[in-house]
Amino acid sequence: MGKHKLENTLNELKATGKPLFIPYMMAGDGGINQINERIQFLEECGASAIELGIPFSDPVADGPVIQDAGLRALQEGTTLKLVLDEVRKQKESRNIPIILMTYINPIWNYGYEQFAKHCDTAGVDGIIIPDIPMEEEEDIAAALSNQSIAFIRLAAMTSPDERLEKIAQDSEGFLYAVSVNGTTGERQQHDKNTLDYLKKLTALSSVPVLAGFGISNPEQAKSLAAYCDGVIVGSKIVHLFAEGKQTEIKELIGETVR
C-alpha cells in the first residue's frame, strides 16, 4: 500500500481496468454553499477524485474559462480558509478523495504548517501547486508530508528526460501529466508527441499518471487514457456547471469511465 489514501484509492479503481476520471471544479463559483453539493454530485457521477480549484487573482496556468470562474468566485468572497471550512463540514460523510489546486501565494500567506494542518482537518487528500518548481518546494513538501497529504507534481512536455524522471519519482498520489504546451482549455486533438510523452511518464512513474489540459469530450478522454491511467477535465466541467448543464457533466464522466 502507498502511504497516501489518494494513491491507494486510485490504485484500487485502476485495478478495475477502467480509466480514472478527475473532474476539476472552481470552489466558490456559484457560491460557497454550492461546494459540497457539487462535490456530492460529481461523486455520484462516478468521479475517481475531485480537484477543487482555489480562486486566485493571477492564475498563470489557467485559460479563460477557469480564469473567469475564478473571478466570479472571488467576487463571491471565496477565500482559501472559507473553502477549507466548507469542505470540512462533509468530511465524515464523504468517501471521494479531495485534491486542492492552488497557487503558492495563498499557501505562503496562510503559513505552510497551518495550511497543511487545516487541510488535514478538512479531509483534503492531495495538493497541486502549479507555480512552484521542484527546486523551491522543500518547505511546503515537508509541511504536507507531516500531515500525510499527497503532494502531486506536474510534468510538462517541455521538460528534459532527467527532470521528468525526478518529478515522476517524487510525485505522490498521482502524477499530473500536462498534455499540452500552454494554459488550460478545450483543444480539438492531441498529437503523437503527447501520446509518446504519456507512455514515457507511465513507464517512469510508480504512481498513476493522469493527463490534464485540453480534454473536452469522452472520445478524447478515452484516447488519452489508453496511454496512461486516466484524465483530469477542468474547463469543460467548469463551463458546464456555469451553464447549468449537469446532465452533460454526468454523460461526460459516465461515458469515459464505463
- Between 193 and 107, residue with greater pLDDT: 107
Assess whether 51 carries a catalytic annotation.
yes
Give me the pLDDT at residue 1, please.
41
Q: What's the mean pLDDT when you consider all of the chain?
A: 92
Q: Please tell me the predicted confidence (pLDDT) of residue 84.
A: 98
Q: What is the pLDDT of residue 58?
A: 78
Burial of 3 (0-12, 13-18, 19+ CB in 10 A): exposed
Overall average pLDDT of the 79-91 stretch: 97
Q: What is the pLDDT of residue 253?
A: 96
Contact 32, 25 (CB under 8 A): no
- pLDDT tens digit sequence for 132-166: 999 999 999 999 999 999 999 999 999 999 999 99
Question: Does position 86 have pLDDT exceeding 70, yes or no?
Answer: yes
Q: What CATH number belongs to 5-257?
A: 3.20.20.70
Of 7, 43, 44, 51, which residue is the catalytic one?
51
At residue 173, the pLDDT reads 96
Determine which one of 62, 86, 125, 229 is catalytic: 62
Least confident among 143-147, 163-167, 193-197, 237-241: 193-197
Judge whether 12 counts as a catalytic residue.
no
The better pLDDT of the pair 110, 1 is held by 110
Percentage with pLDDT > 70 across the chain: 95
pLDDT of residue 63: 77
Q: Which sequence spans correspond to the domains of the chain?
A: 5-257
pLDDT band at residue 186 using 50, 70 and 90 as cut-offs: low
**pLDDT tens per residue across span 10-57:** 999 999 999 999 999 999 999 999 999 999 999 999 999 999 999 988
92-101, 131-140, 178-187, 229-238: range with lowest mean pLDDT: 178-187
pLDDT in the model for residue 145: 96
How does residue 122 score in pLDDT terms, banded at 50, 70 and 90?
A: very high
pLDDT at 189: 60
- Give the dihedral of Cα atoms 127, 80, 30, 74; nearest 10 deg: -120
